[in-house]
Structure 1
Amino acid sequence: MADVAGTTKGARAAWRVPRFDWTMAVFVLLAVLLVILIVSPLSRLVIESFSDPETGGFTLQNFVDVFTRKRYMTAYWQTLQLAGVTVVMSVFMALPMAFAVSRTDTPGRGLMYFAVLGAFIVPPFLGAIGWILLAGPNAGWINQIWESLTGSEEPLFNIFSMWGLAFVIALNVFPLIFIFATSAFDLISSEMEEAAAIHGAGPMRATWLITLPLALPAILGASMLVFLETIALYGTPALIAIPARFNVATTQLTTFFEYPAKIELAMAFSVPMVLITIVLLVAQRMMLRGGTVAVSGKGGAREPMKIGRWKWLFLGHGIAVGLLAVVLPAFILVTTSFSVAWARPFGFDNMTLANYREILFEQQTVRDALWNTYTISLTGATVCTALGFVIAYMVIRKLVPMSAVIAFLTVSPVAVPGIVLAICFYAAYAGPPLSLYGSSMLIIIAFVTRFLPIAFVSCASGVRSMNPELEEAVRIHGGGRFRALAEVVAPVLKKSLLGVWILVFVICSRELSTAMFLSSYQNRVISILTLDLSEQGEYEMLAAMGVVLLVITTAVVAVGMRFLGRDFMLRRN
């Protein structure tokens, strides 16, 4: 009887229905959510651009209107001009610094590194405000000093020009070229340079003939990213280009939302910007896969190059760039924040704490903007990091069908400029049935979508480096994939996840382009309020608000540097 009972029990166990794997169901649900999150708003770019505003039917008239209007074509042309000049200026700023830090015995290399980090931390709109206060043609401090010294009524600098705009943007985006160039220089062995020196070539000649050609693909790839960043930037052009009457693509886009809004024209106008972005991103990928030692090699022995008196020139260049990008804008912002009137000479009779008292205790609008900024940034960074981590695990371990498609969709927002992505979300979710316009939820969703590629790529790199045997051990002992993810993968990658969270948090707190069309009076963030205060001429209050923003952001970055290393913000994955 015991044998029969045992046999029956074994037969029942053999025919028992397998336990449903809820883990896989959740992963599939996340994959569907990702498709909806990205495909729905981005599809509106195509749908609306070919839609007739009156009948809703298919039409090419929107593109005809865009390409036959002189004002629109001028905006395109001036945007390309601006991006080209910005790239040249950025290369001039970043390349000598990258070479000095990576390859030479130049002193003060740590200061150059922190200058680059500072330029990344300072939001573009605050840098623009700083240079308006410094080099405004009428009351800028530099021009006031010039007038007092020479008596000339002609300003020394006029920031309200195409060259001034390109200069200010370059001071903000040159870290991109520095990061890529430094990574390339670090991978080049110094043996070839030493061989050139043996044959009589000086350090600068060896650099020109050997080092730079090897690093050229990375430099050109970074230059393309700077080009794309420039054509997509809104905050700095809004502060400088509009007063200069220099129309660019991003400022032109805002005119389509003047009453009555012309969503179809805005979408049609955005399509060429997206196509340019896609072409340059593909070219950049192909260039970085060219197989040069600068990009794909392991590197070799690297001894700092002794460059003699040239090192003082490199040091002077690095100090100059640091002063222009970080020190001077930060100094003028701090000084203005304590001033009664920023245009008057700074002295004890012009000092006050009233600006800080007003923004922290009296101005409800500013307090709400600060609260909205950090609430949205905290939520967006947390959701973005968690979602990027789970999707990266799902894709790298191939837990769902079509993992390659999921990965492609996750990184696809990279090809859409922030201001265009904001228009897509406005078209998709602002109206019925969801009617999310005016809610912080819409901004958070847009931020998560836009910065998800950063989280995904970083987390995928970490997951790929882990041996899956650790997770399989958990499953062998009865644990599910979520348990393996929570108790094995996440703890191993906790530093990487913290780095991703801080990076996304900093970017969200300074983001303007994506928030431009999605915020209302009730949920304005600091970047949007900056534009409003600038238009009202409230530079003293604006500067105080900017200083508070910088202090909080710098504190967050300092915590990251303490736990993750000083270069975690400037690593290239």
Structure 2
Amino acid sequence: MAKSRAAISPTVALAAVGLSIVVAVPFLAIVLQAIFPTLGRGSFAAPFSAFAGALGDAALIGMAGNTLLLGFCVVVLSAVVSVPLAIARALFRVPGAAIWDVMFLIPFMIPPYIAVLGWIMTLQPRGYLFQLAGFDLGSFLFSLPGIVFVMTLNTFPVVYFAVSRTVETVGSRYADVARLFGATPARAFWRVTLPLSTPGLAASLLLVFAMAIEEYGTPAALGRRAGFDVLVTAIDLRVSDWPIDLPGAAILSLILVILSFCAFLLQRWVLNRRSYEATTGKPQDTSKRELGVWTFPVLALFALVAFVATILPLLAILATALSRTISGGLAWSNLSFRHFAAILGDTTGALKALSTSLSLGVGAALITGLLGALSAYAVVKSRARGRGVLDVLTILPNSLPGIVVAVGLILAWNQPWLPITPYNTSLILLLAYCCILLPQPVRYATAAFHQIGDNLEAAARVSGASSLTAFRRILLPLIAPSLLAAMLLVFAVATRELVASVVIAPVGVSTISTYIWRQFEQGSVGLGMAMAFVTILITTALPLIVLSLMGRRGSLL
């Protein structure tokens, strides 16, 4: 049955309006700034004059190559770590599966700049590892392998949750059919189950690549000592160091857009080569197999990853938060709860910052979840004109560092002729978070829509349902698990986003990240780590409560 453009136009229209406000406006401001270097002074003179200086930088090729190399290495290592775990989680009865999910969710809750500091405190000369075992791994940490290692620990949950949920949706029914025709279990997996899971794998790896090439904290903290410069750190220098070079920063950001867009085209090529529909309206066999003799090796693998990715960083953060002084080291006499007392007593404004970030995180998750689902539907399920433009708009934010998104929002909304503007209010932070994090729900929803056959929506339309009703009552519940996972990731990242928050946070508005950052600047590392530890606990507990409530509601239904 052919899809009707008129029937789906309301969905496409809603997606177009939302993407225009959240993505197109700040991105257009960045493009105009790159073309017109004097735009900040209200002038359109000398267009394109800044390109020669920015593109003529001798270090540009090296920084672009380092950016690509870093993104590729993080993608490969994230896949190596997470795909085996995700497959075991989806197809087999893994003892304590829910606990492992929580353990793998926590690394994503740890802000990258906090995780980096924790690893520095652990692996540097005279660090925690040296104090406990007598040796350090500082030479490894401050190198490309060390940077890739730390960034992978932060990004592998994206692949783990996406692939495990996708493989779980596919189930083992199709592989069982292949085995009936003589295929071995390994051949059935490689030729049937894994190819059908390609949408989730491709979407998550694209997210990891985009996260890697735009991440600032880890390359800035580790890369500079290793002489490993990337585009994001170069952009930061142009924005933060005098003389400020907004046109140069915008031009380098456009290069990041091109790199991420190439990855996006590769993903689209993979997805368009064949059909990945796995949800057709027939009941799926959700039963899982026993691990048998593989129980201990699988549990050992889960435990190893959980220990390295979750327990070690948390112990480093907690040790620093409990230390009276950093120079005192790991000694009982140096331990104290005074930093936590200061946080919970709100003597430094910590609870207000925590409340602000949690509210903005919930708002960003709800907005990006709805807009992501609408955008993915418009791109995957509609035939509306301009859906390719919508698809491009959904991938652009992953190519823009937070600092550049912040600059784009300032250029777009800090104009005297605007009658109403979110600038200098908390809404500007919400717009920044939505712009930066929108690709996550879009990619998850896109992967889910690729697995849903058109016959379900067609049946609803034949029965008299409108396009919005079919979307709300049929399609949205089917993609809800993937979309909910993406929204939880958005919440986790939004509550601890740093760079954009530092630049555009209104006077008097403090978030978790700006609070921690100011503590570090003031030398109160222990107080900052205490705030980070409290934040990790809260941002982990809230998603678990949501998942628990959703599970109970599903069981009642």
What TM bracket, shorter-length normalisation?
A: 0.7 to 0.9
Equivalent position to 2:537, from 547, 551, 570: 551
- Corresponding letter in the other structure for 2:269: M
Taking structure 1 as reference, are residues 344 and 565 closer, same or farther at Cα in structure 2, changes over 3 Å only? Answer: farther
Taking structure 1 as reference, are residues 350 and 249 closer, same or farther at Cα in structure 2, changes over 3 Å only? Answer: same
> In the alignment, does 2:248 pair up with 1:261?
no
> In the alignment, does 2:204 pair up with 1:222?
yes
Shift of 1:508: 1.6
Q: What does residue 94 of structure 1 align with?
A: 82
> In the alignment, does 2:394 pair up with 1:411?
yes
Contact in 1 for aligned 2:16/2:390 (Cα 8 Å): no
Alpha-carbon distance in 2 for matches of 1:495, 1:213: 22
Normalising by structure 2, report the TM-score: 0.77
Alpha-carbon distance in 2 for matches of 1:390, 1:204: 37
> In the alignment, does 2:225 pair up with 1:231?
no
Taking structure 1 as reference, are residues 512 and 221 closer, same or farther at Cα in structure 2, changes over 3 Å only? Answer: same
Q: What does residue 30 of structure 2 align with?
A: 45
Select between 277-286 and 163-172 the one with higher mean Cα deviation.
277-286
Contact in 1 for aligned 2:211/2:398 (Cα 8 Å): no
Contact in 2 for aligned 1:499/1:564 (Cα 8 Å): no
Q: What does residue 130 of structure 2 align with?
A: 143
SS in 1 for 2:50: helix
Contact in 2 for aligned 1:256/1:265 (Cα 8 Å): yes
Alpha-carbon distance in 1 for matches of 2:153, 2:100: 14
Write the mapping of 1:394-409 to structure 2, written as runs, cut at 5 A: 404=387, 408=391
Contact in 1 for aligned 2:79/2:205 (Cα 8 Å): yes
Normalising by structure 1, report the TM-score: 0.75
Shift of 1:518: 2.2
Taking structure 1 as reference, are residues 158 and 347 closer, same or farther at Cα in structure 2, changes over 3 Å only? Answer: same
Taking structure 1 as reference, are residues 422 and 219 closer, same or farther at Cα in structure 2, changes over 3 Å only? Answer: same
Equivalent position to 1:527, from 484, 503, 513: 513
Q: Report the aligned-residue RMSD.
A: 4.8
Shift of 1:52: 3.9
SS in 1 for 2:45: coil
Write the mapping of 1:42-191 to structure 2, written as runs, cut at 5 A: 42-53=27-38, 56-104=44-92, 107-135=95-123, 137-147=124-134, 155=137, 158-183=140-165, 185-186=167-168, 187=170, 189-191=174-176
Taking structure 1 as reference, are residues 533 and 506 closer, same or farther at Cα in structure 2, changes over 3 Å only? Answer: same
Shift of 1:335: 3.0
CA deviation string 1:86-134 (max 9, x = no partner): 1222122112212322345665544433332233333333332332222
SS in 1 for 2:28: helix
SS in 2 for 1:510: coil
SS in 2 for 1:256: helix
Equivalent position to 1:271, from 254, 264, 269: 254
Larger Cα Rg: Structure 1 or Structure 2? 1
| Structure 1: runs of 5+ lacking an equivalent | 1-23, 476-480, 569-573
- Calculate percent identity across the aligned residue pairs: 23
Alpha-carbon distance in 1 for matches of 2:438, 2:188: 42
> In the alignment, does 2:417 pair up with 1:427?
no
CA deviation string 1:157-180 (max 9, x = no partner): 642332222111101111222234
Alpha-carbon distance in 2 for matches of 1:262, 1:366: 34
> In the alignment, does 2:428 pair up with 1:442?
yes
Shift of 1:221: 5.0
Contact in 2 for aligned 1:67/1:73 (Cα 8 Å): no
SS in 1 for 2:501: coil
- Corresponding letter in the other structure for 1:91: A
Equivalent position to 1:246, from 218, 228, 239: 228
Alpha-carbon distance in 1 for matches of 2:166, 2:230: 33
> In the alignment, does 2:318 pair up with 1:334?
yes
Contact in 1 for aligned 2:364/2:430 (Cα 8 Å): yes
Shift of 1:77: 1.8
Alpha-carbon distance in 2 for matches of 1:303, 1:159: 40
Contact in 2 for aligned 1:218/1:294 (Cα 8 Å): no
Equivalenced residues, count = 526
Shift of 1:392: 8.9
Contact in 1 for aligned 2:261/2:396 (Cα 8 Å): no
Shift of 1:552: 1.8
Q: Larger relative contact order (C-alpha < 8 A, sep ≥ 6)? A: 2
Q: What does residue 369 of structure 1 align with?
A: 353
> In the alignment, does 2:289 pair up with 1:304?
yes
Select between 276-285 and 120-129 the one with higher mean Cα deviation.
120-129
Contact in 2 for aligned 1:191/1:301 (Cα 8 Å): no
SS in 1 for 2:125: coil
> In the alignment, does 2:549 pair up with 1:563?
yes
